Amino acid sequence: LLLCHAEEAAAVIVSGLRSTDVFVGESATFTCELSHPGVKNVQWWLDGTPLHNNLVTEISEQDGRIHTLTLNDVACHDSGTVTFRAGPLISSAKLLVKGISLLA
């Protein structure tokens, strides 16, 4: 009897991005959880612009499965669509940055 090893199942998104509302100057965090590690070509985007790790944009990953993007000190112009792409997998969510009203 010959046993063939099935190819490892492709990773899937276990928990996708969630839309977030924050105020100007706050941080916005987006998290995407994959079923297993090892997915290549992981990239974050904001309104079609690729994001890179720097002082304002923190990109991290935990166990190769949990991918996190934190946008620090957001401004109104940061509002838009955040997209996470890992190989063929895509998850998107809206970021809404609200101005602080003086009429509280």
pLDDT digits (tens, 9 = 90+) for 47-89: 999 999 999 999 999 999 999 999 999 999 999 999 999 999 9
The pTM assigned to this predicted structure is 0.86
**Phi, psi angles (nearest 5°) of residue 77:** -70, -5
- For residue 103, pLDDT over 80 is answered with no
Mean pLDDT over the full length of the chain: 90
| Mean pLDDT on 14-22 | 97
* Rounded Cα–Cα distance for residues 75 and 60 (Å): 22
* Rounded Cα–Cα distance for residues 104 and 97 (Å): 17
Question: What percent of the chain stands above pLDDT 70?
Answer: 88
Domain 13-98: which topology? Immunoglobulin-like (2.60.40)
Token pair of 26 as six digits: 């706050």
Q: What is the pLDDT of residue 6?
A: 44
Token pair of 96 as six digits: 């809404």
